[in-house]
Amino acid sequence: MWVSEAGVIGADVRGHGLACEGQPVTSRLAIICGTSSCHMGISKNPIFVPGVWGPYFSAMVPGFWLNEGGQSVTGKLIDHMVQGHAAFPELQAKATARCQSIYAYLNSHLDLIKKTQPVGFLTVDLHVWPDFHGNRSPLADLTLKGMVIGLKLSQDLDDLAILYLATVQAIAFGTRLIIEAMESAGHSISTLFLCGGLGKNPLFVQMHSDITGMPVVLSQEVESVLVGAAILGACASGDFASVQEAMARMSKVGKVVFPRREDKRYYDKKYQVFLKLVEHQKEYASIMKGD
């Protein structure tokens, strides 16, 4: 069983204004996001999704079929983009002076430079395709490479912050692509449940909500794997009759982040560009392979 997801996906969401409150647990998608990311959706009947692993019976929730999508590098990609930038030493020094992590500093710096516009709009002319280590889902193509479109000569802290933002957005667009593939095959998803290290980054969480158009639920216990292990132990000891009951009783909602609906048109346009990036990359590869 996937333990971390068991610690979040079955939480009792009553009173939080979520559509999934009146829907079956199959409307929930659990995402464990750290160095890489996994996207776990369940169904009552087996669903075969091209480029997404499974279906596996009773692998996460007993009696349900599991599909698992994934992104090969997420947290590792953010680190790579930030640490490889010319302004990284300056970022390190300023974050240390404030006793902040580099990502807390970047998030506050983005709030500073965005002025009156929504922070996500800072990337209007900077676009990233995030498959620096190939694509796991839903394209299942290990030959794909990363892309950054819209670079300038300047390499200051503002540029680093905006590149960081564009990278976070690209990861969220990758999640949107996985969700669309799952829904095209028969899944019906309305709510995201995030766990893992990247779930502690408010920018990462908000961008996933804004770009997918779905609310994001964060667990009260940030180390969801501990809750998942406790749930399994409680079932094994006979304290609960089923894993579903244990999840509902032991998993607690910590925070719910809703999408900014007023920004939907902007992200829809960014998503069109996102899809064009991989289309063009494949065209370039075809040209280079030709006679």
The range of the structural domain enclosing residue 113 comes to 75-171
Q: pTM to 2 decimals?
A: 0.94
Domain for residue 135, yes or no? yes
pLDDT at 233: 84
Digit-coded pLDDT (tens) for 244-277:
777 777 778 889 999 999 999 999 999 999 999 9
Domain count, the chain: 1
Between 206 and 6, the more confident residue is 206
Based on its alpha-carbon atoms, the radius of gyration of the chain, rounded to whole angstroms, reads: 20
CB atoms within 10 A of CB 169: 27
Domain for residue 147, yes or no? yes
Scanning the structure block, which residue is given the tokens 């280079």? 288
Domain for residue 115, yes or no? yes
Between 62 and 168, the more confident residue is 168
Domain for residue 198, yes or no? no
Six-digit token pair at 220?
Answer: 């009260």
Domain for residue 252, yes or no? no
Question: Mean pLDDT, the chain, as a whole number?
Answer: 93
Evaluate if residue 36 carries a pLDDT over 60: yes
List of residues 6+ apart from 160 with CB closer than 8 A: 82, 85, 86, 87, 88, 91, 106
Six-digit token pair at 82?
Answer: 């930030």
CB atoms within 10 A of CB 172: 26
Domain for residue 133, yes or no? yes
Domain for residue 79, yes or no? yes
Digit-coded pLDDT (tens) for 79-114:
999 999 999 999 999 999 999 999 999 999 999 999
Q: What is the CATH number of the domain that holds 94?
A: 1.20.58.2240
Domain for residue 250, yes or no? no
Distances (CA, A) of 75 to 14, 118, 168, 213: 31, 23, 9, 22
